[in-house]
Structure 1
Amino acid sequence: MTTDAEKDATTLEENRRRQRELYGRPLQDRLRALMALYSISQRRLAEVLGVSAPMLSQLMSARRVKMGNPRSHERMIALEQRAAAQGPAPLSPETAAAITAEIAAEELSDTTGLRVLHGADATSLTAEDLVQALRAHVGAGELRAARDALRSAELSPTLRAFLEQALD
């Protein structure tokens, strides 16, 4: 007979697997890395991402799988990209504070990749339309991360090909 604790552990592991599919790796890993890079608390990261502290905690513990607000995901990516652009050295407290304040204040797009096409009938899109939309609305770092995640998991060669084209 399976105990409640075993069911809970199974659910959390499944949620982490789903997070890896959606985000390339579990959100706990990505979000903890951001907290370390910027030397900020979990509460401050929640503020920057525009989510409640309890929501961030649920995402990090895999009690929730997905960020419900596309803006929060965009801000997470923006934080990762800005840190990467600063180079491998740790961010100074001043730089970290400036970047987090700027990203928290930004009005980021609340459109998802498919809505970017402004309601166009998906069946009428060409491969080039998709590649152009990816280039226009997704950062190179995110495209690379998605391509690499698909490559390492040996998933979706067709989608990988679109990502490769968008990166060229």
Structure 2
Amino acid sequence: MKRVAVFCGSRDGHDPIYMQKSKQLGEVLAKHNIELVYGGGIVGCMGAVSEGVLENDGKAIGVIPEKLLTVEIANEALTELHVVETMHDRKAMMARLADAFIALPGGAGTLEEWFEVMTWAQIGYHEKPCALLNVNDYYTPLLQLFDHMIEQGFVDQLNKDIIMMQEEPEILIEQIMKGL
């Protein structure tokens, strides 16, 4: 596994654990010589994960739409920074560059980006791992929603089963590497 795309919030969240675990994920990626592919910003969890990578001599590749250059404040210290025209271009480039996908806590944008690549895995467009870092039980309600969708007949159990989820960055990365 050469690169992991990380989808995450451009905010810090209310509990400091979100920023701590984001930075820790970056540190773990660097430790395993796995390059980070992410949204390219220096704010929120995005900034923390890239900081964890860069402070540990890792490589970080940012992909940011022109419109968000000042909102998410592009990180000029990255190994590579790709400025693209649209969010669609961002997602396509991140998907192309990555060997696996992880969602850290975030908002609607984080969920939308992760659900797109997860849906692609479900329908066979790729076989790359799709994972959730379940910091502070952030994604536990999402898995409960999957159970509800299965119960109601809109999702098959095998679609839920492709989701990897752990609470600790090191364990999640090890799980992803074993799954490849």
* Structure ranking higher on relative contact order (CA contacts 8 Å, 6+ apart): 2
- Fold-level match, TM-score > 0.5? no
Whose strand proportion is higher, 1 or 2? 2
Whose helix proportion is higher, 1 or 2? 1
The structure having more radius of gyration, on CA atoms, is 1
TM-score normalised by L of structure 2:
0.28
